[in-house]
Chain A
Amino acid sequence: MTRLTRFGESFAAILLAVIWISPLLFAFWAAFHSTSDAVNFNLSSAWTLDNFRTAWRGAPWLQYFLNTFLLVTVVLIGQFILTTLAGFAFAKLEFPGKNFVFVLVLMQLFILPEVLILENYAMVSRLGLFDSILGVGMPYMASAFGIFLMRQSFKSVPMELHEAARIEGCSLLGILWHVYVPLAKPTYLAYALVSVSTHWNNFLWPLIVTNSPDTRPLTVGLSIFGAPENGVDISVISAATLMSVAPLLIAFLLFQRQFVQAFLRAGIK
């Protein structure tokens, strides 16, 4: 009986796994076959790279890749600087008003940037950042989530190290840089993975703030390329989709353990 249920469960688990990746497998199949072969599931049909060629010619992908790359880099650098400074202040300094400001910061966890698109759009335009990569990235830099994460990480650093560095004559910023930042390396790595995959995949806000191929990230480019109005066929769309997820997907498959650890570390707080 137990053996039977065990077998049944393994079967269910594997079946679910197969279902779960089947959209990706079908896209893979379609991307490498002509449209008619793809939809007929003719297993003996020839493999082809034509769809990738057509897709590649259909949009300035290289520019899109570059934009996405710049975007995630700009966001990450901004987040690292801002959340390190703020997280350190919250973790290790005592000053009046600290708890009040911390509650305000926590509130931002629920005031999603996605919901404030209307006024954030007005703000970005006012700052002259409309249709710029900085404009796409800026609302995410002071991430409440990141501040919280850094605060947790810095809090666990023993005060003795802090004192020792101070006796050595280190300034406060020096202590932050030489003592706290190196010790928080795993947190930075985790945060970086989460941040990069979030912003690589972000869509709604970039859709609103970008208006030209020079700034558009991959997700927005892909949505325009795949729009039904353009009449692109399913094989070409599959090829374009695979192309645009490939870097992140390959990185994920290579560094799976780190990715999962990162999401865990970031999620558990």
Chain B
Amino acid sequence: MAERVNQERRRQAIYGWLLLLPAATLLSIFAFYPTVATLWSSLFSRGTRRRPSEFVGTENYADLFADPTFWLVVQNNLLYAAITIPVSIGIALAMALWANSKIPARGFVRTAYFTPTVLPMIAAANLWLFFYTPGLGVLDQIGSLFGIPSINWLGQPETALWAVIIVTIWKEAGFFMIFYLAALQTIPEDLKEAADIEGASRWTYLRRIVLPLLMPTTLFIVVNAMINSVKLIDHLFILTKGGPSDASKLILYYIWEMAFAFFDAPHAAAMTIMILSVLCIVATIQFFYIDRRTHYQ
């Protein structure tokens, strides 16, 4: 009997590893090895024909810390995150509450909110170009009705990043709405009735009952929004290319530029490692705070 159990255990172990093998191989090739390789190459200087690359320790990191552009880009990205995360979540919540209540044209409203989610970021950027173009753009035309002079939204450092931020919010709010909508539908109707009997106002009901119940969803969305604030940069390629004078440049775009336009792999690698560290922190938060509250079994 014990032998049979042992045999079964061995069989499962062999099958288990065989089944994992294809995925594990690809994950190693395209996630784990590159992570280590990036860390490794961030410690070496950029090789030229005359001078082969050599070990420089943390010099690449020191270079970045001494580079004002790097700090500008970090600052841009922090602002990008600090605005897009709360605003898109706030809008998403409002959208979900509306899309879940009895309003006229609810089907249209839901579709309208969600549609940007299925568009590529590149296409979204093209659509918004029509809004932002100075002189011809929709925003300028509306402005001219009120006698506001033409503004080059994408061409001046004060507004370029904000123009990019608006497109991001537009793109992701509808996506986050979906999760809120799902969560709202799990809130039992009798809670609403009980609140009505107690004479609670809609605002109190929302603040004291709905929002706390939505908390796990909110945390889940926050993590997603954080990841997006690193990842969503495609529209920069169309709208601003990080300009003018780096005013709208974000970290991932800077990495791309460093690696594939300036061919400076070591510094790009050093920046990649820094982003990965930040994502690692986000991951830890996720594991310790969120997964305790959501039950996945």
Contact surface of A with B, Cβ cutoff 8 Å: 9-10, 12-14, 16-18, 20-21, 23-24, 26-27, 30, 39, 41, 81-83, 85-86, 88-90, 93-98, 101, 104-105, 107-123, 138-139, 141-142, 144, 147, 152, 155, 172, 197, 200-204, 207-208, 218-219, 222-223, 226, 234, 237-238, 240-241, 244-245, 248-249, 252-253, 256, 259-260, 263-264, 267-269
Contacts and interface: CB of A to CB of B under 8 A. Distances in A.
A226 to B, nearest CB: 6
B182 interface: yes
Contacts of B104: 10, 14
A85 B27 CA distance: 14
Given A95-B16, A204-B256, A237-B129, A114 B138 contact: no
Contact of A9 (B31, B103, B131, B279): B103
Interface string B70-92: 00000000000000000000010
A256 to B, nearest CB: 6
Given A39-B136, A117-B255, A155-B297, A222 B34 contact: no
25 contacts: A14-B104, A14-B105, A21-B115, A89-B20, A93-B15, A98-B16, A104-B27, A110-B286, A112-B227, A119-B38, A123-B30, A142-B24, A172-B15, A203-B121, A203-B234, A203-B237, A204-B234, A226-B126, A226-B129, A238-B127, A244-B123, A245-B118, A249-B115, A260-B178, A269-B294
B109 A23 contact: no
B255 A119 contact: no
A110 B268 contact: no
A95 B13 contact: yes
Nearest to A78: B26
A152 B238 contact: no
Range, interface on chain B: 35 or more
Contacts, number: 272
Contact of B128 (A23, A83, A116, A120): A23
Contacts of A240: 126
Interface string B204-242: 000000000000000010000001001101100110000
A197 B120 CA distance: 8
Interface of B: 9, 12-13, 15-17, 19-20, 22-27, 29-35, 37-38, 41, 91, 94-95, 98-99, 101, 103-105, 108-109, 111-124, 126-131, 133, 136, 138, 141, 170, 174-175, 178-179, 181-182, 220, 227, 230-231, 233-234, 237-238, 252, 255-256, 259-260, 265, 268-269, 272, 275-276, 279-280, 282-283, 286, 294, 296-297
B285 to A, nearest CB: 11
B179 A264 contact: yes
A188 to B, nearest CB: 16
A115 B23 contact: no
A183 B33 CA distance: 35
Contact of B178 (A20, A249, A264): A264
A219 B22 contact: no
B127 to A, nearest CB: 4
Contacts of A81: 22
Chain A at the B interface: SS class: helix
Contacts of B220: 267
Contact of B103 (A14, A26, A252): A14
B65 to A, nearest CB: 20
Given A14-B109, A203-B237, A267-B178, A83 B122 contact: no
